[in-house]
Amino acid sequence: MEHERCYIYTPPQSEERAAKRRRTDSSNHQAQLSARLDIYRELWAQQEERIHATLEEADRSTLENIVNFISSPSRNHDQGLTCILTGLIIAGPSIASHGPFFDRLGRKIRNETNSAYILLTSGECPNLKSLLKNLIKKVTSRTEDDDDDDIAQGVSSRRGPKVLDFDLQHVQEWQTRNHVEKIVVAVQDSEAFDAGLLAEVIDLFHSWLDRLPFVLLFGIATSAESFEDRLSGRALRYLEGEKFNVTQTDKVIETLFGATVASTDVPLRIGPNLSRRMLDRQKDYVQNVQDLSDGLKYAYMSHFYANCTSIFLKKDITFKELPKEVLEAVRNLPSFRKWVELLLDSRKTQEVRKLLDSDEHLFETVKANVISGQEVLAAVTAAVIVLVRLREALQMTSQVPLSSIWIRAASGELAESPLLRETMLSIKKVSSDKLGQVLASFKAAESIYLPVDISAFQNALEDLLKQKTDSTPLRTQDDVRTNSLRTTVVAQKVELSKHKAALSEQDKLYSELIARLHDDLENYFNGTFIDPKELFLSEILIYDLRSPLTEVFQPKPRFAIERALGSPHDYLGCDCCSAAGDKGAEAALSATQPATAILYQLYLESGSLINVADLWAAFNAITGEEGEDNDHKTMALFQRALAELRYLGFVKPSRKKTDHVTKMLWKGL
Amino acid sequence: MKRKFPDNDTDASTPRKLRTRLEDNPVFDPEFEEEQDVVPEMQTPSRRKRGRPSPELDTPRKSALKARPIPGQETPKSSRRVLFSTPSKSREDDTDGTPTIVRNADRSARRKSARRLIERAINGETSEDDALEEDEALAQQILSDEEEEADGADPKVPKTLYHEEAPIPETPTKRKRGRPKGSGKKQLEKQPSLVPPERLPPHELYFWQNRIGGTKTSNNILSAEVLLNHDEYFETMQSYQDMHDPEKGFLLELHSRAFDQWLFELSQGFNICLYGYGSKRSITEAFTSHLYAHLLSQPAYAGTKKPPKIIVINGYTPNTTLKHILTTLATALLPKGTRLPNQPPSLLKLILDTLTSTPPPHPIPLILNSLDSVPLRKSPTPTLLAQLASHPSINLLCTVDTPLFPLLWDISLRTQYRFLHHDTTTFSPYVAELDAVETVNELLGRSGRRIGGRDGVGFVLRSLPENARSLFRILVTEQLALMLDDMEDPSFDGEPATPRNKSTDAAAQGIEYRVLYHKAVEEFVCSSEVGFRTLLKEFHDHQMVESRKDSGGAERLWVPFRQEELEGLAEDLVGEAF
């Protein structure tokens, strides 16, 4: 079957038995795994819901605007001035998100308006003819065969003259039957289209506008101006455009992160290292919402697939359904050990003994601690959200996004951090008009439990404001505006002295109020910003392993192949080639290595042009043995190894000299 | 890179430096005497007229080249030396008839100078002549730069200059000439730097190996008998036992432990991409059977006789197209007798529509070996495959072999593919993916071996009409003539990356289609282009002729044989052996 192109798999006869055997021996493990995977499915379904909602929400207003624009009554016909309605959709530079956006747009347009929606991409429309063919095919949703296109189509139509299959007449026929209000033609990647082609299309559509109600939508990755520059004035005159801005991907990603990771009701959290990695990747390389959600999904998958203690994340888990091994595994968790040591330090030996001896006791403890740990993590997240809102309300100059604050909090760096100090200092200086906003923003976040009595503060503030007569806001003693610098010249020396303006009675009261708020908040932040890694059972609650995720999404295939060939022992782990490791490059070339690996290492030593005859000589010197048969064997290996290097793209033929090949890849570049 | 400068220096001001060194560094005097022999040769027109009639010139040069023994070829010094001093030697040939071979054999400067001294002592006249020439040369070198420019205009000089520029850093003479003072020391210092420095960082190593003059290789060639043909290769390989088989088995076992994980990943809507060194067919095979067993145990198949359908695609087979893949998929998916559209995009649309409207009980598994193979790289295929793979009812597990495969897909394709990558290094040989013998032959430009070499060609020709034989004879002789031209061309010393070598390339590229056609018409082999094409087609079918477009866009034909084999062929053809 190996030389067949494609086939449907049929198992060899002896297959059945092996399959059965496998199933029995892993049944116990399998059962537990499927229980864990059930939890995974449940949790991920919630997350997926969130992601979906976020994405829908992100461009809801844009989509609505576009739909309204499309369904707006055609202004053109009655005025005698005919222009094609054109929506310029500024979709931003992250091309990967354009496809899903236009899909969502199409769904919405089809559902909410009586219009046909046709999406064209540059790949399927290299010229006007194929563009029209495509368009017609999509409008009329014909599924006929398109082999012998032009002729067959023409001959079969008996009514009137034959119509070529790129004639918009087809659309008109279809329109007389269906009577749609608008025919929306969306050009997804307008930059990739030839400008001349676009002009032709616009020209053509315009000439049909009296019969077919076209609306054009252009997806633009750059800017409306550059789109305009590409079109000729004549084409532009036929267009009546409106600009729509799509929410940019980085903002979407930020909200997505807020919804899925830095949110209060998430049972399993992605750890700070992983989050940072994923966000950095978004920032530096891809900008792709799907990539982020895939990463999250895979993290969830890995956690539940590989970590057997993750079963404790099940909400109503009972002791009976839990296998013993899981509890044993819990006893081996680093955080369990740390916790036990803490208990021992505080001389709770009885408790420790119980934990070690009684499975049931351990189960109850773990169950309780998982819940409390989740609460602690939720509190941390809540504090982060409070902090972000506080900074927003205070209108702090340096804008730090929620994701980065959350990551700092989750890695335990936020307590005592300059960021927090800076925020607290500016609270001290806040004036009464801003304080109102701050308190209101706290109040607005209902889902977050804040141990500070916001209402009391609000009432106190209102009382103070009532007593005031003038319109100037109240200031605190720390406000810079109450300070002034005074310069005095004493004995030809300038002296600077700080002077505090006298505070009014109300200002003093206000300062006290602020001081109380400050202290309350400070206590709150200091109390909640703990280091989550130190948390008991953090292995269950937080997934922060880099290993499978990075390799799975950002593989290093070149490195893998170079390593396999450069030091095959790393993979093979055999006894014969292992001596190579410590003695350096010279010793590495032992004859026992696979032929391709030997040849590859010789290849590494040579220059950009390689003489195959010399390569053969060197290869033969290393692996060759005496005798006619062995000569053949060595040569066969050499040929195979060289062919493999060619297959992998390391060498290519050179015509510069006879029997020479050109080096293509340098190791480690 | 440093090395380059002295070379260029020398090139630009060769005569002048010679002179200065003559004065400064008397140690090298004998050597310079000889070189000065050359310089006047090139600069005095009178001498050239007298002493260098062109046929004479060519013969010694050619003989020198051919007679050059193999070890001599390895040292670049030899070829250059010979070339550079050719004129003077040809004159010596005239005067005292020293055999060329002997002179080539003892190349050392000291010996030469000694011999020259003896010659002078014996032959008073010539030495006087030499002395005269030397004076003349000196006088000319003292003259202004315009003189040098005039030298440059001399047709012979650029060639020599050019040869000095050729990347032969090791040549001692050049270094001496470039460095008037302490050149001997310098040379000693430079010698070790030719050994690659230890443990260079990768980028430095790249520049080091790509430096000017770094591509110095020997002229050794593999003799035709060394390479195995298919029969020998397979015979040998069948009896070959790899000592690493247990370890490879272990690697396979290791990878197969991940099968359940892969099933889970596939079930979550991801596609899987396996990379790493070694053929991964054994893995996909094992996984397919694992998957088959897994699907059989699913409720959809419990109690039914209908087997689950897993589609396996071998992307490495040279004529795999998207259409095959889609057709196979369609036959698995659609009821029998459905008329399938011919064009892959419409077919794909039909499949995707069917999958969306009537989703199968489980995603259809697609096992694709070598997704990055050449036939699947062509333009519309990756886009359509990605569309297919992005459908939730399709599970794609594919393997890739090349180390740079991620570059094949842009970000939107990668988003569609939703790949999870797994390193599955197996170290197994690419048995099915790769024809080792043929690949190596192609790599070395010996694809003519494919049809069984000279005998194979003879066999084909015997079964062809007289005209075809004549055409092939013309083709072979023309190609040989081109090759010989190259050989005679003094520049043919195998220096890579030099403009001179364009002619060598041209020979390798073969005869231009038009030229061959006219020759064929002249010899009454054919009367029209149609007939010519028909004859050529036969050769093409038997892979006796290859054609490609050269840089100018003209089609060039060539017979994929090496010179020796061509010569044999030509003999056979002329001798009517066929």
What are the structural domains of chain A? 60-145+163-246 (3.40.50.300), 557-663 (1.10.10)
Q: Which of B164, B194, B209 is the last residue of a domain?
A: B209
Residues ≥6 apart with Cβ < 8 Å to A322: A311, A363
Test A294 with B297 for CB contact under 8 angstroms: no
Q: Is the pLDDT of residue B398 over 90?
A: yes
CA distance B420 to A280: 19
Report d(CA A476, CA A317) in Å as an integer. 53
Question: Which of A126-140, A428-442, B34-48, B361-375 is predicted with the least confidence, judged by mean pLDDT?
Answer: B34-48
Asked, for residue B62, whether it belongs to a domain, the answer is yes
CB-facing half-sphere around the CA of A123: CA atoms within 13 A = 12
Angle of helix B124-142 relative to helix B109-122, nearest 10 degrees? 120
Q: How confident is the model at residue A58 (pLDDT cuts 50, 70, 90)?
A: confident
Give me the long-range contacts of A418-427 (CB less than 8 A, separation at least 24): A420/A387, A420/A525, A420/A529, A422/A396, A423/A387, A423/A390, A423/A391, A423/A394, A423/A396, A424/A518, A424/A521, A424/A522, A424/A525, A425/A478, A426/A394, A426/A396, A427/A390, A427/A394, A427/A514, A427/A517, A427/A518, A427/A521
Lowest mean per-residue pLDDT among A260-269, A350-359, A442-451, B181-190: B181-190
Query: What is the structure's pLDDT at B393?
Result: 92
Task: Give percent of chain A above pLDDT 70.
Answer: 88
Q: How far is A455 from chain B (nearest CA, A)?
A: 48
Are the beta carbons of A597 and B309 closer than 8 angstroms? no
pLDDT for residue A252: 87
Q: Does the distance separating the beta carbons of A5 and B411 come in below 8 Å?
A: no
- All residues of chain A having their beta carbon less than 8 Å from the beta carbon of residue B312 are 1, 6-9
Say if residue B456's pLDDT is above 80. Answer: no
Euclidean distance between CA atoms A248 and A245, whole angstroms: 8
Tokens 């023994």 sit at which residue? B69
Are B203 and B249 part of one and the same domain?
Answer: no
In a domain, B436, yes or no: no
Closest by CA to B207, choosing from A611, A608, A650, A664, is: A608
Same domain flag for B407 and B281 = yes
Q: Which residues contact A481 (CB under 8 A, 6 or more apart)?
A: A475
Q: Which of B208, B351, B423, B550 to mutate to test the interface with A (most CBs of A within 10 A)?
A: B423
pLDDT at B505 over 70: no
- Residues B417, B463, single domain; the answer is no
Q: Which residues of A touch B252 (CB under 8 A)?
A: none
Residues in chain B closer than 8 A to A51 (CB atoms): none
B410 and B364 housed in the same domain: yes
- The reported pLDDT for the residue numbered B457 is 79
Strands B546-549, A6-8: parallel, antiparallel or unpaired by DSSP? unpaired
Element at A379 (helix H, strand E): helix A359-394
Looking at residue A142, what is its pLDDT?
57
Q: Of the ranges A6-15, A538-547, A626-635, B536-545, which is most confident?
A: A538-547
Phi, psi of B214 (to 5 degrees): -80, -15
The percent of residues above 90 in pLDDT, for chain A, comes to 19
The arithmetic mean of pLDDT across residues B487-493, rounded, is: 50
For chain B, the domain total comes to 3
More confident residue, B484 or B449: B484
- Whether A663 has its CB under 8 Å from any CB of chain B: the answer is yes
Place of tokens 């090298």: B28
Q: How far is A99 from chain B (nearest CA, A)?
A: 8
- What is the average pLDDT across B499-514? 58
In this structure, the answer to whether residues B349 and B456 fall within a common structural domain is no
Interface contact flag, B203 A669, Cβ < 8 Å: yes
Across the interface, of B268, B297, B494, the residue whose CB is closest to A297 is B268
Q: What distance in Å separates the CA atoms of residue B166 and residue B76, rounded to the nearest whole number?
A: 10
| 8 Å CB contact of A96 and B411 | yes
Q: Are residues B47 and B190 in the same domain?
A: yes
The pLDDT tens digits for B180-233 are: 444 444 444 444 455 666 778 888 888 888 887 766 788 888 877 788 888 888
Please work out, in degrees rounded to the nearest 5, the angle formed at the alpha carbon of residue B171 by the alpha carbons of B169 and B177. 100
Residues paired with A609 in a beta bridge: A662
Which residues in chain B touch residue A629, judged by CB atoms under 8 angstroms apart? 236
Bridge partners for B275 per DSSP: B423
* Predicted local confidence at residue A267, as pLDDT: 87
pLDDT tens by residue, A611-633: 999 999 999 888 877 766 778 88
* pLDDT at position A27 over 60: no
Q: Would you call A557 and B276 a contact, using CB atoms and an 8 Å cutoff?
A: yes
In this prediction, residue A14 carries a pLDDT of 57
User: Taking a contact as any Cβ pair under 8 Å apart, which residues of chain A between 123 and 152 contact chain B?
Assistant: 123-124, 143, 145-147
Binary contact (A5, B406; C-beta < 8 A): no
On whether the CB atoms of residues A537 and A369 are closer than 8 A, the answer is: yes
Given a cut of 50, is residue A639 above it in pLDDT? yes
Cα distance between residue A439 and residue A454, in whole Å: 7
Calculate ∠ Cα A355-A356-A361, nearest 5°.
Answer: 35
Task: Judge whether B311 and A6 are in contact, CB under 8 Å.
Answer: yes
pLDDT of residue B419: 94
Band the pLDDT of A578: cuts 50, 70, 90: low
Start-to-end CA span in chain A (Å): 38
Say whether both B135 and B249 belong to one domain: no
Same domain, B412 and B453: no
Tell me the C-alpha distance between A104 and A52, whole Å. 12
Q: Establish, for the pair of chains A and B, how many residue pairs have beta carbons separated by less than 8 Å.
A: 310
**Does residue A605 sit at the B interface (CB-CB below 8 Å)?**
yes
Is pLDDT above 70 for A563?
Answer: yes
Q: Are B363 and B491 part of one and the same domain?
A: no
For residues B114 and B107, what is the distance between their CA atoms, to the nearest angstrom?
Answer: 12
**Main-chain phi, psi angles of B334, to 5 degrees:** -95, 155
Higher pLDDT, B28 or B394: B394
Distance from CA of B9 to the nearest CA of A (A): 25
Instruction: Judge if B411 and B459 occupy the same domain.
Output: no
Assess if residue B228 is contained within a domain: no
Chain A residues within 8 A of B558 when measuring between CB atoms: none
Mean pLDDT of chain B: 71
CA B200 from centroid of its chain's CA atoms: 26
Return d(Cα A142, Cα A149) in angstroms, integer. Answer: 13
Average pLDDT in chain A: 83
Distance, in Å, from the CA atom of B115 to the CA atom of B113, rounded to the nearest integer, reads: 5
Contact call for A557 and B406, based on CB within 8 A:
yes
Which of A92-101, A344-353, A629-638 is predicted with the least confidence, judged by mean pLDDT? A92-101
User: What is the reported pLDDT for B154?
Assistant: 44
Q: Is residue B494 in a domain? A: yes
Asked if the structure places residue B440 within a domain, the reply is no
pLDDT at B485: 75
- Which of A3, A5, A43 should we substitute to test contact with B (largest number of B Cβ atoms within 10 Å)? A5
User: Residue B172: pLDDT band by 50, 70, 90 thresholds?
Assistant: very low
What's the pLDDT at B124? 54
A259 Cα to chain B: minimum distance (Å): 21
Last residue of a domain, one of B157, B185, B209: B209
**Strands, DSSP E only, in A200-292?**
214-220, 239-245, 269-270
Residue A643: the pLDDT is 93
Domain extent, residue B78, equals 4-209
Question: For the residues B395-423, what does the mean pLDDT come to?
Answer: 91
- Check B270 against A610: CB less than 8 A apart: no
CB contact under 8 A, A8 and B227: no
Q: Compare all CA atoms of chain B with the CA of A147 and give the residue at the minimum distance.
A: B342
Mutate to test the interface with A, among B3, B379, B412, B556 (most CBs of A within 10 A): B412
- Cα A24 to Cα A27, A138, A305, A568, B287: the distances in Å are 5, 52, 20, 36, 19
Please name the residue of chain B whose CA is at the shortest distance from the CA of residue A558: B403
Q: Is residue B434 part of a domain?
A: no
Task: State the burial class of residue B170 (Cβ atoms within 10 Å of its Cβ: 0-12, 13-18, 19+).
Answer: middle
Residue A189 — very low, low, confident or very high, per pLDDT cuts 50/70/90? Answer: confident
Report chain A residues whose CB lies below 8 A from the CB of B444. Answer: 612, 653, 659, 661
Please list every residue in chain A whose beta carbon sits closer than 8 Å to the beta carbon of residue B243: 576, 592
Closest CA to B472 of B450, B489, B448, B488: B448
What's the pLDDT tens digit per position in B62-103? Answer: 444 444 444 444 444 433 444 444 444 434 444 444 444 444
Cα of first residue to Cα of last residue in chain B, in angstroms, is: 55
Is pLDDT of B291 > 90?
A: yes
> What tokens does A444 get?
């607005």
Residue of A nearest to B342 (CA): A147
The residue written with tokens 């040579």 in the block is A606
pLDDT of residue B560: 78
CA A542, CA A461: separation in Å to the nearest integer?
41
**pLDDT grade for A304, boundaries at 50, 70 and 90:** very high
Domain boundary among B423, B438, B472: B423
B332: chain A residues, CB-CB within 8 Å: 8
User: Whose CA is closest to A287, among A254, A331, A263, A332?
Assistant: A254
Same domain, B455 and B397: no
**Side chain identity at residue B20, one-letter code:** T
What ipTM does the predicted assembly reach? Answer: 0.85
pLDDT at residue number A81: 60
Return the pLDDT at A99. Answer: 83
Q: Which two tokens stand for residue B114?
A: 């000694």
Tokens of A547: 């290993």
Residue B428 in domain: no
- Within a domain: residue B431? no
Mean pLDDT (whole number) for B388-406: 92
With CB atoms and an 8 Å threshold, state whether B220 touches A614.
yes
pLDDT band for position A492 (50/70/90)?
confident
Rg for chain A, CA atoms, rounded: 35
Question: Which residue, among B166, B175, B185, has the nearest Cα to B10 in the 3D structure?
Answer: B175
In this structure, what CATH number is given to the domain that contains residue B325?
Answer: 3.40.50.300
pLDDT band with cut points at 50, 70 and 90 for residue B311: very high
| Best-predicted range by mean pLDDT (A444-453, B306-315, B490-499) | B306-315
Same domain, B21 and B124: yes
Give the rounded percent of residues in chain B with a pLDDT score beyond 70: 60
Q: Who wins on pLDDT, B498 or A303?
A: A303
| Residue B44 to residue B48: CA distance in whole angstroms | 7
Instruction: Give the contacts of A606 (CB within 8 A, at least 6 positions apart).
Output: A615, A663, B209
Give the model's pLDDT for residue B84: 44
How close, in Å, is residue B145 to chain A by CA atoms?
36
Where does A156-295 show beta strands of DSSP type E?
182-187, 214-220, 239-245, 269-270
Whether A21 and chain B come into contact, CB under 8 Å, resolves to no
